[in-house]
Structure formats: C-alpha cells, structure tokens
Structure 1
Amino acid sequence: MQPFRVLNFCIALRGVNPTPMIGEIRMLAFSRAPQGWLPCDGGIYRIADHDELFMAIGATYGGDGASTFGVPDLRGQVPVHQGLGRSTGARRRLVGEGGGKETVALEVSHLPAAMPALGRTLAAVHDNMMPTLTASYCIATHGAFPTRSLC
C-alpha cells in the first residue's frame, strides 16, 4: 500500500479564496512555506511560538504536548481522509495515523492460486509508489480559528 497520512478533508462553502483556517493544510507550488504557514515535514515546534496552531491540532503529530508539538509529515505520503474506508474489511482511520510502505517484497502468497509455478524467487524488494508530482504541503499557523466541532 502507498504510504499515507490520515487527514480530515473539507470543502469551503463560501468565498473564492477564504482566509485560511488555522491548521488547514494546502498543497502549494512553492519550494518553501510562505509567511503564516509551516511545512508539513514532521517538524517539532515550541508551543509558545505557535500556540494557536497547537490549540487546533494538539500533539496529534508529535511533540511532548507540554512545551512542544509536531506538524504532520507528508513527505513521501499520500493524504487519506479520516473515517471508515469503502473497501470490504476496511477499518476506521484516525486523524494523524499513518501507514503503507514505499517498497514491498512480492511473495508467492500475494499471487492468485491459479498462477503456474514460476521456478524463481519473487522476494526481491520493488517500488510500491504510484506516479507522483512533487509539491509542498503546508499548514496554516494564522487565520480563522476552527470551531470546536471540527477539532
């Protein structure tokens, strides 16, 4: 499975480009986070420096929750919406959870039973990444404070 990080996706109901909500994550075409945003690189920050962002996301993504907190690490990750997946046997995913692997070893147990004997090993690790285009995910440190029902 492609590496992923669970987030909560929302749709803005008004405004063309509304003021960002503190804790909102946007994908940007910049190589650096603009003012009022932090890169989603798993960094650990002092609560005193970004107290509003900490109040919105807490220590969900790391830090000690007393003097430090972390932001999501979306490097090499695909964001996934929180909640119950749609596939059979899917389980509920919680905000902040991650999973998947960048590489996997194909094993005979992964192949359908009707496959003919291959006579060679399949255990070599291979790439498990879907085609990608690199951009910067950033999280808003300033803007409108989210309502309690969202946090």
Structure 2
Amino acid sequence: MSEPFVGEIQIFGFGFAPYQWAQCNGALMAIQQNTVLFALLGTQYGGNGQTNFQLPNLMARAACSQGQGPGLTSRTIGETFGSSAVTLLSTEIPNHTHTLQFFNQGDPNKRQSTPQANAALNLPSQAASKFFAPAGAMAPLAATALQPAGGSQPHENRQPYLALNFCIALQGVFPQFG
C-alpha cells in the first residue's frame, strides 16, 4: 500500500485500525502527540483546541461531502444530520384507505362469536370455506373498525449498510494545497 496523506480517510473491511491509522469514531486526540493532524483538522469535529481535538465520527453514519448540490441542503464540515429511526406522523403517510367488505349474517342461529374449525372470513370470490356467505347486500365496516397501528413506534430509517470501518491516517505525507 502506498503512503497515505495525513488525514486521509479510507474504508477498511476489518474491525481494527491499521498501523498509524485510527478509527473515525469521534475519539479525543492529544494535540501534543498529533500536531500534524491537528494542523489539518483543528476543532472541526470537536475538542477544546488547547490540549485535544476530536477525530471525525463516522460510526453508524454515512459519509457526505461538504457544500450544496442542486436542490439539496447545504452541508458543512463536521456537521451531523439525519436520524437512524423515525416516527411517522399521519400527515407524512400517503393518503390511503383500509377497507374490508363482509356479509352480515341475518340468521342469528348461524352466527358464531368465537373462531371455529374450517371457518374463515374470506372474500366473496373465495368459495372454499365461507364463514360469511354472500347471500345478501355487502356492508362496509364502521370507520372506527380499522385504526392506525404501530403505537407511534419509530421505524428503521438507515440506508442499507455493510460492516465497514472508516479510518483516518495519523502519519503520512502532508498534503500540498494550491
């Protein structure tokens, strides 16, 4: 492997940082032992700037470039954004309905209040085991019969990912600017 630039970030497919590299996990670093890297990063990712500074934190995150693309939100170096879990509000869900048609059994002697063997609530076109036979007019369920589900619990919101580690070079060639 060629010598990296100091501060270069690469992805590795193993669970440790190679020699002279550190994982991008937001760790505090002493300025006195890492003056070259501090000269490049400063306190963009945290730290007090007197005795320590922080490495970028890319644990459970995706890397993103700085700036602003067409129609996108502006991003600055060191900014974190996004959420790994989201609870959707009813205003954020596309408008849709949940309907179920069923036959109201008019004969009280044929009604069953508990599940029975070989009985099911089926669509009228499924003639195999009709619990409600389509002998009369179809009626919709009451509007309150089908309510939102999920208990306002958040759902996973992360993009697909692989178990890879971002690491930053602590030693190497100082990058030339200009």
TM-score (norm 2): 0.67
Equivalent of 1:93 in 71, 75, 89: 75
* Residue identity opposite 1:71 in structure 2: L
Q: Is the 8 A contact 1:28 1:137 kept in 2?
A: yes
Deviations 1:100-147 (A, max 9, x none): 1111101111123x4337631552211112221111111011111123
Q: Paired residue for 1:40?
A: 24
Give the secondary structure class of the aligned counterpart of 1:80.
Answer: coil
RMSD (CA atoms): 1.7
Task: Give yes or no for the alignment of 1:120 onto 2:104.
Answer: no
Identity in percent:
32
Deviations 1:53-98 (A, max 9, x none): 0001111111101110000111100001111033x3x221111111
Equivalent of 1:81 in 55, 60, 65: 65
Partners of 1:110 and 1:67 in 2: CA distance: 46
Which structure 1 residue ranges, 4+ long, deviate > 3 Å from structure 2? none
Greater shift, 45-54 or 127-136, is seen at 127-136
Q: Paired residue for 1:129?
A: 158
Partners of 1:92 and 1:48 in 2: CA distance: 34
Structure 1 stretches of 5 or more lacking a match?
1-16
Give the secondary structure class of the aligned counterpart of 1:138.
Answer: strand
Task: Give yes or no for the alignment of 1:26 onto 2:7.
Answer: no
Deviations 1:22-51 (A, max 9, x none): 111000122111111111011001001111
Q: Paired residue for 2:40?
A: 56
Partners of 1:38 and 1:65 in 2: CA distance: 19
**Structure exhibiting the larger radius of gyration computed from Cα positions:** 2
Partners of 1:37 and 1:128 in 2: CA distance: 30
Structure 2 stretches of 5 or more lacking a match?
99-145
Question: Larger strand proportion, structure 1 or 2?
Answer: 1
